[in-house]
Chain A
Amino acid sequence: MNTPTDAINPTFVDEIGHLVFRVGNTWLAAPVNAIAELTEPLPVTRIPRSPSHIPGVFALRGYAVPLLDLVAFLDLRAEATPNSPQDEFAHPRFVILEHEGSRVGLRSDQTRNVGFLTGAQHVDLGIVSNPRLRNVLHAALESGERMILLLDVERLLNEAKA
Protein backbone atom coordinates (compact mmCIF):
# COMPACT_ATOMS: atom_id res chain seq x y z
CA MET A 1 0.00 0.00 0.00
CA ASN A 2 1.32 3.45 -0.90
CA THR A 3 2.01 5.81 1.93
CA PRO A 4 1.02 9.47 1.53
CA THR A 5 4.70 10.25 0.89
CA ASP A 6 4.80 7.72 -1.96
CA ALA A 7 1.80 9.39 -3.53
CA ILE A 8 3.52 12.77 -3.52
CA ASN A 9 6.96 11.54 -4.57
CA PRO A 10 6.51 8.34 -6.57
CA THR A 11 9.61 6.38 -7.41
CA PHE A 12 10.86 6.65 -10.97
CA VAL A 13 11.10 3.40 -12.93
CA ASP A 14 13.84 3.61 -15.54
CA GLU A 15 13.29 0.98 -18.24
CA ILE A 16 15.79 2.16 -20.85
CA GLY A 17 18.69 3.84 -19.03
CA HIS A 18 19.88 7.42 -19.18
CA LEU A 19 23.06 9.40 -19.66
CA VAL A 20 23.39 11.98 -16.91
CA PHE A 21 25.40 15.08 -17.70
CA ARG A 22 25.94 18.55 -16.34
CA VAL A 23 25.61 21.86 -18.17
CA GLY A 24 26.66 24.75 -15.93
CA ASN A 25 25.01 24.05 -12.60
CA THR A 26 22.20 21.95 -14.06
CA TRP A 27 22.21 18.15 -14.13
CA LEU A 28 20.32 16.79 -17.11
CA ALA A 29 19.58 13.29 -18.38
CA ALA A 30 18.76 11.97 -21.84
CA PRO A 31 17.52 8.46 -22.63
CA VAL A 32 20.21 6.20 -24.09
CA ASN A 33 18.13 5.50 -27.18
CA ALA A 34 18.49 9.19 -28.09
CA ILE A 35 22.28 9.22 -27.63
CA ALA A 36 24.53 8.40 -30.59
CA GLU A 37 27.86 8.87 -28.82
CA LEU A 38 30.08 11.06 -26.66
CA THR A 39 33.12 12.82 -28.08
CA GLU A 40 35.85 15.13 -26.96
CA PRO A 41 35.03 18.73 -27.97
CA LEU A 42 35.73 19.25 -31.69
CA PRO A 43 36.48 22.38 -33.75
CA VAL A 44 33.27 24.30 -34.43
CA THR A 45 32.66 26.44 -37.52
CA ARG A 46 30.17 29.25 -37.12
CA ILE A 47 27.23 29.41 -39.54
CA PRO A 48 26.15 32.94 -40.49
CA ARG A 49 22.61 34.04 -39.60
CA SER A 50 22.17 31.20 -37.16
CA PRO A 51 20.51 31.85 -33.79
CA SER A 52 22.84 32.48 -30.86
CA HIS A 53 22.06 29.08 -29.33
CA ILE A 54 23.64 27.36 -32.35
CA PRO A 55 27.32 28.32 -32.22
CA GLY A 56 28.12 26.35 -35.35
CA VAL A 57 28.73 23.00 -36.89
CA PHE A 58 31.42 20.34 -36.48
CA ALA A 59 32.56 17.32 -38.49
CA LEU A 60 31.96 13.87 -37.06
CA ARG A 61 32.32 10.59 -38.94
CA GLY A 62 31.39 12.03 -42.31
CA TYR A 63 28.55 14.21 -41.05
CA ALA A 64 28.26 17.92 -40.43
CA VAL A 65 26.71 18.05 -36.97
CA PRO A 66 25.17 21.23 -35.52
CA LEU A 67 26.14 22.19 -31.98
CA LEU A 68 23.36 23.30 -29.65
CA ASP A 69 24.37 25.54 -26.75
CA LEU A 70 21.95 24.74 -23.92
CA VAL A 71 23.27 27.56 -21.76
CA ALA A 72 22.12 30.08 -24.36
CA PHE A 73 18.97 28.24 -25.41
CA LEU A 74 17.62 27.42 -21.97
CA ASP A 75 19.04 30.38 -20.02
CA LEU A 76 21.11 28.06 -17.85
CA ARG A 77 23.84 29.32 -15.59
CA ALA A 78 27.06 28.94 -17.56
CA GLU A 79 29.56 28.21 -14.82
CA ALA A 80 29.67 25.94 -11.84
CA THR A 81 29.73 27.68 -8.50
CA PRO A 82 33.32 28.75 -7.72
CA ASN A 83 35.15 26.21 -5.57
CA SER A 84 32.32 23.74 -6.05
CA PRO A 85 33.38 20.11 -5.63
CA GLN A 86 31.88 19.61 -9.11
CA ASP A 87 34.79 21.49 -10.66
CA GLU A 88 37.39 18.85 -10.03
CA PHE A 89 35.37 16.35 -12.07
CA ALA A 90 34.66 18.73 -14.91
CA HIS A 91 35.55 17.27 -18.29
CA PRO A 92 33.86 18.96 -21.24
CA ARG A 93 32.44 16.65 -23.89
CA PHE A 94 30.02 16.80 -26.76
CA VAL A 95 26.93 14.66 -26.20
CA ILE A 96 25.63 13.62 -29.63
CA LEU A 97 21.86 13.23 -29.75
CA GLU A 98 20.15 11.43 -32.60
CA HIS A 99 16.52 11.97 -33.47
CA GLU A 100 14.66 11.23 -36.72
CA GLY A 101 17.85 10.92 -38.74
CA SER A 102 19.44 14.11 -37.45
CA ARG A 103 22.42 14.32 -35.14
CA VAL A 104 22.85 17.32 -32.88
CA GLY A 105 25.67 17.92 -30.40
CA LEU A 106 25.27 19.37 -26.91
CA ARG A 107 28.22 20.84 -25.05
CA SER A 108 28.37 19.34 -21.56
CA ASP A 109 30.71 20.28 -18.74
CA GLN A 110 30.69 16.85 -17.10
CA THR A 111 29.19 13.44 -17.86
CA ARG A 112 28.44 10.45 -15.67
CA ASN A 113 28.23 6.84 -16.78
CA VAL A 114 25.10 5.66 -18.49
CA GLY A 115 22.89 4.03 -15.90
CA PHE A 116 19.41 3.43 -14.65
CA LEU A 117 17.76 6.06 -12.51
CA THR A 118 15.32 3.64 -10.95
CA GLY A 119 14.75 4.55 -7.34
CA ALA A 120 15.04 8.29 -7.84
CA GLN A 121 12.05 10.23 -6.57
CA HIS A 122 9.77 12.20 -8.85
CA VAL A 123 9.60 15.90 -8.05
CA ASP A 124 6.86 18.22 -9.30
CA LEU A 125 8.14 20.00 -12.43
CA GLY A 126 6.80 23.21 -10.94
CA ILE A 127 9.96 23.31 -8.85
CA VAL A 128 11.84 24.29 -12.01
CA SER A 129 11.39 28.05 -12.05
CA ASN A 130 12.98 28.58 -15.48
CA PRO A 131 10.06 28.27 -17.98
CA ARG A 132 12.28 27.68 -21.01
CA LEU A 133 13.95 24.77 -19.26
CA ARG A 134 10.70 23.37 -17.87
CA ASN A 135 9.22 23.38 -21.37
CA VAL A 136 11.70 20.76 -22.64
CA LEU A 137 11.54 18.39 -19.66
CA HIS A 138 9.84 15.06 -19.22
CA ALA A 139 10.34 14.94 -15.49
CA ALA A 140 12.39 16.14 -12.55
CA LEU A 141 13.97 13.58 -10.24
CA GLU A 142 15.69 13.73 -6.90
CA SER A 143 18.58 11.30 -6.71
CA GLY A 144 20.55 11.51 -3.50
CA GLU A 145 21.17 15.19 -2.94
CA ARG A 146 21.05 15.96 -6.63
CA MET A 147 18.21 17.16 -8.83
CA ILE A 148 18.28 15.52 -12.26
CA LEU A 149 16.12 16.89 -15.06
CA LEU A 150 15.00 14.45 -17.76
CA LEU A 151 15.06 16.01 -21.20
CA ASP A 152 12.29 15.54 -23.72
CA VAL A 153 14.73 15.19 -26.62
CA GLU A 154 12.12 15.41 -29.36
CA ARG A 155 10.69 18.61 -27.98
CA LEU A 156 14.14 20.08 -27.30
CA LEU A 157 15.33 19.53 -30.86
CA ASN A 158 12.09 20.72 -32.41
CA GLU A 159 12.17 23.91 -30.35
CA ALA A 160 15.85 24.59 -30.99
CA LYS A 161 15.82 23.89 -34.72
CA ALA A 162 17.78 26.44 -36.73
Chain B
Amino acid sequence: MTLEAPPITQGFFLHIGGTPIVIDAHPVRTVLRAREIKAEAHTLDLFSLFSEEPPPLDARRALALSPNDSAESPVLIVGDELNLAPLDLAALLPFPPWFEDVPRRTGIRGLLIHEDGRHWLLLDPASLIHHREMRTEQ
Protein backbone atom coordinates (compact mmCIF):
# COMPACT_ATOMS: atom_id res chain seq x y z
CA MET B 1 0.00 0.00 0.00
CA THR B 2 1.32 3.41 -0.91
CA LEU B 3 0.63 6.34 1.34
CA GLU B 4 0.23 9.58 -0.53
CA ALA B 5 1.22 12.74 1.28
CA PRO B 6 -1.48 15.42 1.27
CA PRO B 7 -0.72 18.30 -1.09
CA ILE B 8 0.96 21.20 0.63
CA THR B 9 -0.92 24.46 0.18
CA GLN B 10 1.16 27.60 0.22
CA GLY B 11 -0.09 31.08 0.96
CA PHE B 12 1.21 34.60 0.56
CA PHE B 13 1.13 36.26 3.98
CA LEU B 14 1.28 40.04 3.75
CA HIS B 15 -0.01 43.28 5.22
CA ILE B 16 -2.20 45.72 3.37
CA GLY B 17 -1.46 48.68 5.63
CA GLY B 18 -2.65 47.46 9.02
CA THR B 19 -4.66 44.55 7.63
CA PRO B 20 -3.04 41.09 7.83
CA ILE B 21 -3.98 39.15 4.70
CA VAL B 22 -3.25 35.68 3.42
CA ILE B 23 -3.87 34.69 -0.20
CA ASP B 24 -3.83 31.10 -1.44
CA ALA B 25 -0.78 30.86 -3.69
CA HIS B 26 -2.42 28.33 -6.04
CA PRO B 27 -3.84 30.83 -8.57
CA VAL B 28 -0.80 33.12 -8.35
CA ARG B 29 1.16 32.87 -11.58
CA THR B 30 3.91 35.35 -10.85
CA VAL B 31 4.97 38.20 -8.59
CA LEU B 32 5.52 41.48 -10.37
CA ARG B 33 7.90 44.20 -9.27
CA ALA B 34 6.98 47.88 -9.24
CA ARG B 35 8.17 48.73 -12.76
CA GLU B 36 6.26 45.76 -14.20
CA ILE B 37 2.90 46.86 -12.79
CA LYS B 38 0.55 48.53 -15.23
CA ALA B 39 -2.71 50.12 -14.18
CA GLU B 40 -5.26 48.33 -16.30
CA ALA B 41 -8.90 47.50 -15.97
CA HIS B 42 -8.19 44.16 -14.42
CA THR B 43 -5.75 45.57 -11.87
CA LEU B 44 -7.10 45.67 -8.35
CA ASP B 45 -5.31 47.85 -5.79
CA LEU B 46 -5.94 46.31 -2.38
CA PHE B 47 -4.67 49.43 -0.61
CA SER B 48 -7.36 51.48 -2.29
CA LEU B 49 -10.02 48.83 -1.73
CA PHE B 50 -9.22 48.59 1.98
CA SER B 51 -8.77 52.36 2.41
CA GLU B 52 -5.20 51.85 3.60
CA GLU B 53 -2.18 54.11 3.06
CA PRO B 54 -0.34 52.78 -0.01
CA PRO B 55 3.41 52.08 0.11
CA PRO B 56 5.86 54.14 -2.00
CA LEU B 57 5.58 53.33 -5.70
CA ASP B 58 8.92 51.58 -5.90
CA ALA B 59 8.02 49.37 -2.95
CA ARG B 60 4.93 48.02 -4.62
CA ARG B 61 4.57 44.45 -5.71
CA ALA B 62 1.73 42.73 -7.47
CA LEU B 63 0.41 39.20 -7.76
CA ALA B 64 -0.62 38.16 -11.26
CA LEU B 65 -3.25 35.46 -11.05
CA SER B 66 -3.94 32.64 -13.47
CA PRO B 67 -6.29 33.53 -16.31
CA ASN B 68 -9.86 32.43 -15.91
CA ASP B 69 -12.63 31.97 -18.42
CA SER B 70 -14.24 35.36 -18.11
CA ALA B 71 -11.43 37.89 -18.01
CA GLU B 72 -7.80 38.60 -18.63
CA SER B 73 -5.33 37.67 -15.96
CA PRO B 74 -6.25 39.81 -12.94
CA VAL B 75 -3.50 41.54 -10.98
CA LEU B 76 -3.62 42.40 -7.30
CA ILE B 77 -1.46 45.27 -6.13
CA VAL B 78 0.03 44.48 -2.76
CA GLY B 79 2.90 45.65 -0.58
CA ASP B 80 6.55 44.72 -0.64
CA GLU B 81 6.69 42.21 2.18
CA LEU B 82 5.47 38.97 0.69
CA ASN B 83 6.03 35.93 2.83
CA LEU B 84 5.32 32.59 1.20
CA ALA B 85 4.57 29.96 3.83
CA PRO B 86 2.43 26.85 4.33
CA LEU B 87 -1.26 27.61 4.58
CA ASP B 88 -3.59 25.36 6.57
CA LEU B 89 -7.02 26.02 5.12
CA ALA B 90 -8.56 23.59 7.62
CA ALA B 91 -7.86 26.20 10.30
CA LEU B 92 -10.12 28.74 8.61
CA LEU B 93 -12.88 30.12 10.81
CA PRO B 94 -15.68 31.24 8.49
CA PHE B 95 -17.73 34.31 9.25
CA PRO B 96 -21.17 33.91 10.84
CA PRO B 97 -24.39 34.82 8.99
CA TRP B 98 -24.32 38.22 10.70
CA PHE B 99 -21.23 38.97 8.57
CA GLU B 100 -22.70 37.57 5.34
CA ASP B 101 -21.97 40.72 3.34
CA VAL B 102 -18.27 40.88 4.24
CA PRO B 103 -16.98 38.30 1.71
CA ARG B 104 -18.91 39.97 -1.10
CA ARG B 105 -17.71 43.44 -0.15
CA THR B 106 -14.09 42.66 0.63
CA GLY B 107 -13.26 39.21 -0.73
CA ILE B 108 -12.35 38.17 2.81
CA ARG B 109 -13.76 34.75 3.61
CA GLY B 110 -12.78 34.24 7.20
CA LEU B 111 -10.24 34.36 9.98
CA LEU B 112 -7.24 32.08 9.95
CA ILE B 113 -5.06 31.47 12.98
CA HIS B 114 -1.50 30.57 12.05
CA GLU B 115 0.69 28.11 13.93
CA ASP B 116 2.44 30.97 15.69
CA GLY B 117 -0.91 32.25 17.00
CA ARG B 118 -1.05 35.26 14.69
CA HIS B 119 -4.36 36.08 13.05
CA TRP B 120 -4.76 36.49 9.29
CA LEU B 121 -7.73 37.22 7.05
CA LEU B 122 -8.11 34.84 4.12
CA LEU B 123 -8.66 36.80 0.92
CA ASP B 124 -10.30 35.00 -1.99
CA PRO B 125 -9.31 37.11 -5.04
CA ALA B 126 -11.54 35.16 -7.41
CA SER B 127 -14.75 36.00 -5.56
CA LEU B 128 -13.68 39.60 -5.08
CA ILE B 129 -12.96 40.07 -8.78
CA HIS B 130 -16.12 38.21 -9.75
CA HIS B 131 -18.27 40.53 -7.68
CA ARG B 132 -16.50 43.62 -8.98
CA GLU B 133 -17.18 42.48 -12.52
CA MET B 134 -20.81 41.87 -11.63
CA ARG B 135 -21.08 45.42 -10.25
CA THR B 136 -19.41 46.88 -13.35
CA GLU B 137 -21.85 45.11 -15.61
CA GLN B 138 -24.90 46.40 -13.75
Do A and B assemble together? yes
Q: B93-107: which residues lie under 8 A (CB-CB) from chain A?
A: 93-99, 101-102, 105-106
- B111 interface residue per 8 A CB criterion: yes
Q: How far is the CB of A1 from chain B (nearest CB, A)?
A: 47
- Decide: A64 and B94 in contact? CB cutoff 8 A: yes
Report the stretch among A4-12, A42-50, A118-126, A130-138 that lies at the interface: A42-50
Size bracket, chain A contacts:
20 to 34
B50, A64: Cβ atoms closer than 8 Å? no
Q: Is the CB of B98 within 8 A of A157?
A: yes
Q: Spot the interface stretch: B14-22, B24-32, B36-44, B60-68.
A: B14-22
Q: Does B2 contact A (CB under 8 A)?
A: no
Instruction: State the Cβ distance, B93 to closest chain A Cβ, in Å.
Output: 4
A48 CA to B110 CA in the complex, in Å? Answer: 12
B130 interfacial by beta-carbon distance below 8 Å = no
Interface positions, chain B 36-93, Cβ under 8 Å from A, are 49-52, 93
Q: Number of A-B pairs whose CB atoms are under 8 Å?
A: 67
Q: Which residue of B lies closest to A104 (CB)?
A: B98
Residues of B within 8 A of A65 (CB): 96
Tell me whether A103 and B119 are in contact (CB under 8 A).
no
Which residues of A lie under 8 Å from residue B120 when comparing CB positions?
A: 45
| Bound-complex Cα distance A49 to B105 (A) | 8
In the complex, which residues of chain B have a beta carbon less than 8 angstroms from the beta carbon of A49?
49-51, 105-106
Q: Which residues of A contact B106 (CB under 8 A)?
A: 47-49
Residues of chain A within 8 A (CB-CB) of B98 are: 66, 102-104, 157, 161-162
- Within 8 Å CB of B111, what residues of A? 45, 57, 59, 64
User: What are some 23 contacts across the A-B interface (CB < 8 A)?
Assistant: A45-B20, A45-B111, A45-B119, A45-B120, A47-B121, A48-B52, A48-B106, A48-B108, A49-B49, A49-B51, A57-B95, A59-B111, A63-B93, A63-B96, A64-B94, A64-B95, A64-B96, A64-B111, A66-B96, A66-B99, A102-B98, A157-B98, A162-B101
